[in-house]
């Protein structure tokens, strides 16, 4: 079999600095097979679905290498079928599958996950930096969920990700996680993936991720049995010349594949004329934005990052695909970590339509791609579109007013994300002896040599999280705060914070129509002299403990673009 041999480094990374489920409780849901009356196969892979039973979902997630048979190309194409090559390889996964099982929970349910690390022993010497030599150690993050981040009792952990690289779940070890959703937790789409500093990028890039759907028994939106709900991970992969992705540098240097959906290149989705489906897009890529458009259709966008809009839809179509300037930022764009929940109603006219990712503003390589074929055929359906007025309302997502901000302490923070060359005056100084800030040029084949990936307080020296000079943001339990995050780089770093959602109120200092999110890209085009920014407000409720905020471009995170947050009573 022929394999792809990506021989050129990704030009954007040069230009912007590389800017089997062990089910114990709960039950598995049989997959719906999709095939039209005339027999066109639906080839979008479907993850296994696991549902909580009697308030509990308990499973084992085993991290291991598993064989993968991929069709992929490093040449994104606005044509169908695209020219792709078969790659037979072995990649890291959960339970031998990618995506891993979709976990269905109700408000108040408890999720128990035993994470078992069956990956090979870590290999020393893959990088000159010690903390990048633990690519097979791991841990587990529940992205977007409002749950306890601590070790909740001896040996049982919540959404705990504050390991050092040396202290994660090593090969041959395991960790027990347990999280309980609050009774008022918002419904919607969330996901889980590894989060060990220094190893996150390679493991997510390989396909170690799965979805979580939180259900609300009172929710009336999109509840018709005729509306199919689908999880769609959008993902590129970085593979070396042998079709593998084993080391930190494998996931950094090579040109990525075109977008794949649930691991499939240009799959076919079959719908009947007039059929309504509920799609949850998850951008699990490490770096690239996804800008969806479905030919001759409007996608009715009703939730961002699991947060439903206030009794309204937002249109996603060709016209809106370029509307991301200024205060419209980020428009339809999904950066790494983002989720879009959309309603799609198939045309009444049978035929073939294409789902595309349109060009985005972050770099020259981003170009239009056809990512799926939508075939509309068979007997028509007359399912009504869900109504925006049926979208649920959650008290926790009420607007954060100036009065509430003031009564919650009114703390404001001005923080910075920046990729800086060695010797830059904004770097914290002096750098303590022995600290690992910069990839040395002698590691070879890496355009990030001698750059630091940093975070910190505006007006102070910046440092990577692995430094003793990195700052912890200490917050009082129950506080309400306003944060502004600046970017000093052209690439729109996707800011993500754990545990608590953000109420976005400004882009570049200008007021916007506010919205809730947990991952928000900072407007592109920043520089040292003129940084760009986003401003949001947060309620720090329910949980004390340590967690992190960081750039969700996962190579940036691995190299240090992250800070600790500690909520204290």
Predicted confidence at residue 254, as pLDDT, reads 79
DSSP 8-state assignment for residue 463: B
Domain-embedded: residue 223: no
Contacts of residue 72, defined as CB under 8 A and 6 or more positions apart, other chains included, come to 4, 84, 85, 87, 237, 239, 257, 258, 260, 265
Domain-embedded: residue 1: no
Beta-sheet pairing, 156-157 with 174-180: parallel
- 203: domain CATH number? 2.60.40.420
Predicted confidence at residue 447, as pLDDT, reads 79
Q: Do the Cβ atoms of 83 and 266 come closer than 8 Å?
A: no
Q: Are residues 170 and 315 in the same domain?
A: no
Which secondary-structure segment (H or E) carries 404?
A: helix 402-407
Q: Are residues 39 and 183 in the same domain?
A: yes
Given 342, 361, 385, the domain boundary residue is 385
Given 317, 351, 385, the domain boundary residue is 385
| C-alpha of 551 from chain center | 11
Predicted confidence at residue 445, as pLDDT, reads 63
**Domain coverage including residue 535:** 396-568
Q: Which of 312, 377, 378 is nearest to 343 (CA)?
A: 312
Write out the two tokens for 134.
């633990």
Q: Are residues 417 and 369 in the same domain?
A: no
Structural domains in the chain (count) = 3
Domain-embedded: residue 220: no
Q: Are residues 296 and 347 in the same domain?
A: yes
Q: Are residues 194 and 45 in the same domain?
A: yes
Q: Do the Cβ atoms of 6 and 478 come closer than 8 Å?
A: no
What distance in Å separates the CA atoms of residue 339 and residue 454, rounded to the nearest whole number?
25
What distance in Å separates the CA atoms of residue 461 and residue 426, rounded to the nearest whole number?
5
Q: What CA–CA distances, in Å, run from 202 to 168, 243, 386, 467, 514?
A: 15, 14, 39, 22, 34
What distance in Å separates the CA atoms of residue 325 and residue 196, rounded to the nearest whole number?
34
Q: Which of 236, 239, 226, 207 is nearest to 4 (CA)?
A: 239
Domain-embedded: residue 391: no
Given 165, 186, 215, the domain boundary residue is 215
pLDDT in tens for each of the 569 residues of the chain?
Answer: 223 333 323 333 333 333 333 444 665 643 444 444 458 999 999 999 999 999 999 999 999 999 999 999 999 999 999 999 999 999 999 999 999 999 999 999 999 999 999 999 999 999 999 999 999 999 999 999 999 999 999 999 999 999 999 999 999 999 999 999 999 999 999 999 999 999 999 999 999 999 999 999 999 999 999 999 999 999 999 999 899 999 999 988 778 999 999 999 999 999 999 999 999 999 999 999 999 999 999 999 999 999 999 999 999 999 999 999 999 999 999 999 999 999 999 999 999 999 999 998 865 566 899 999 999 999 999 999 999 999 999 988 999 999 999 999 999 999 999 999 999 999 999 999 999 999 999 887 667 899 999 999 999 999 999 999 999 999 999 999 999 999 999 999 999 999 999 999 999 999 999 999 999 999 999 999 999 999 999 999 999 999 999 999 999 999 999 999 999 99
What is the residue-wise DSSP string for 155-190?
A: TEESS-----GGGSB-TT-EEEEEEE--TTPPPEEE
Q: Are residues 93 and 27 in the same domain?
A: yes
**For the whole model, what pTM was predicted?**
0.94
What distance in Å separates the CA atoms of residue 126 and residue 132, rounded to the nearest whole number?
8
Q: Are residues 340 and 236 in the same domain?
A: yes
Write out the two tokens for 3.
């394999």
What distance in Å separates the CA atoms of residue 170 and residue 175, rounded to the nearest whole number?
10
Domain-embedded: residue 144: yes
Q: Are residues 280 and 200 in the same domain?
A: no
Q: Which of 117, 111, 72, 112 is nearest to 93 (CA)?
A: 117
Predicted confidence at residue 176, as pLDDT, reads 98
Domain-embedded: residue 495: yes
Domain-embedded: residue 115: yes
Q: Are residues 299 and 448 in the same domain?
A: no
Longest CA–CA separation in the chain, Å: 71
Q: Which of 329, 250, 261, 367 is nearest to 12 (CA)?
A: 367
Domain-embedded: residue 427: yes
What distance in Å separates the CA atoms of residue 305 and residue 161, rounded to the nearest whole number?
20
Please give the backbone phi and psi of residue 327, each rounded to the nearest 5 degrees, phi first.
-75, -5
Q: Are residues 361 and 419 in the same domain?
A: no
What distance in Å separates the CA atoms of residue 262 and residue 210, rounded to the nearest whole number?
10
Q: Are residues 70 and 208 in the same domain?
A: yes
Residue 303 β-bridge partners: 308, 341
Predicted confidence at residue 365, as pLDDT, reads 60
What distance in Å separates the CA atoms of residue 428 and residue 469, rounded to the nearest whole number?
7
Q: Are residues 189 and 62 in the same domain?
A: yes
Positive/negative CA dihedral, 438, 444, 445, 447:
positive
């Amino acid at each position: 079999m022929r394999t792809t041999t990506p021989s050129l480094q990704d030009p954007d990374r040069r230009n912007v600095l590389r800017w089997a489920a062990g089910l114990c409780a709960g039950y598995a849901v049989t997959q719906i097979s999709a095939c039209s009356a005339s027999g066109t196969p639906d080839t979008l892979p479907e993850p296994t679905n696991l549902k909580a039973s009697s308030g509990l979902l308990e499973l084992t997630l085993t991290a291991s290498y598993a064989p993968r048979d991929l069709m992929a190309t490093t040449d994104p194409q606005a044509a169908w079928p695209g020219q792709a090559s078969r790659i037979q390889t072995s990649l890291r996964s959960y339970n031998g599958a990618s995506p891993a099982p979709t976990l269905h929970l109700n408000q108040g349910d408890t999720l128990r996950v035993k994470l078992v690390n069956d990956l090979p022993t870590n290999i020393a010497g893959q990088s000159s930096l010690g903390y990048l030599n633990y690519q097979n150690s791991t841990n587990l993050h529940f992205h977007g969920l409002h749950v306890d981040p601590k070790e909740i009792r001896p040996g049982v952990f919540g959404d705990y990700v504050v390991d050092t690289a040396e202290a994660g779940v090593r090969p041959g070890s395991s960790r027990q996680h347990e999280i309980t959703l609050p009774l008022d937790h918002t419904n919607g789409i969330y996901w889980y993936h590894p989060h060990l500093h220094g190893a996150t990028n390679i493991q997510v890039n390989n396909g170690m991720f799965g979805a979580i759907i939180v259900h609300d028994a009172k929710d009336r939106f999109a509840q018709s049995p005729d509306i199919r709900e689908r999880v769609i991970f959008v993902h590129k992969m970085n593979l070396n010349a042998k079709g593998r992705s084993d080391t930190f540098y494998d996931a950094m240097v090579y040109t990525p594949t075109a977008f794949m959906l649930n691991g499939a290149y240009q799959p076919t989705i079959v719908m009947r004329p007039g059929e309504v489906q509920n799609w949850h897009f998850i951008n699990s890529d490490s770096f690239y934005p996804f800008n969806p458009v479905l030919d001759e259709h409007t996608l009715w966008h009703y939730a961002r990052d699991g947060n439903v809009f206030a009794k309204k839809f937002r249109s996603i179509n060709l016209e809106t695909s370029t509307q991301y300037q200024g205060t419209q930022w980020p428009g339809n764009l999904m950066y790494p970590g983002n989720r879009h929940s959309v309603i799609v109603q198939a045309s009444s006219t049978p035929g073939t339509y294409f789902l595309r990712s349109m060009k985005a503003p972050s770099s020259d390589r981003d170009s239009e791609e056809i990512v799926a074929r939508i075939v509309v055929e068979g007997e028509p359906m007359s399912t009504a579109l869900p109504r925006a007025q049926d979208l649920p309302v959650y008290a926790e997502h009420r607007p954060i007013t100036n009065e509430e901000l003031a009564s919650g302490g009114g703390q404001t923070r001005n923080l910075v994300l920046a990729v800086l060359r060695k010797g830059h005056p904004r770097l914290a100084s002096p750098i303590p002896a022995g600290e690992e800030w910069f990839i040395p040029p002698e590691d070879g084949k890496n355009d990030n040599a001698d750059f630091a990936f940093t975070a910190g307080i505006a007006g102070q020296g910046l440092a990577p999280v692995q430094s003793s000079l990195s700052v912890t943001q200490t917050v009082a339990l129950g506080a309400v705060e306003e944060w502004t995050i600046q970017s000093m780089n052209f690439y729109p770093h996707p800011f993500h914070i754990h545990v608590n959602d953000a109420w976005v109120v400004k882009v570049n200092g200008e007021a916007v129509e506010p919205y809730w999110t947990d991952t928000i890209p900072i407007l592109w085009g920043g520089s040292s002299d003129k940084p760009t920014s986003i401003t949001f407000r947060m309620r720090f409720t329910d949980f004390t403990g340590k967690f992190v905020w960081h750039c969700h471009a996962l190579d940036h995170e691995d190299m240090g673009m992250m800070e600790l947050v500690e909520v204290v009573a």
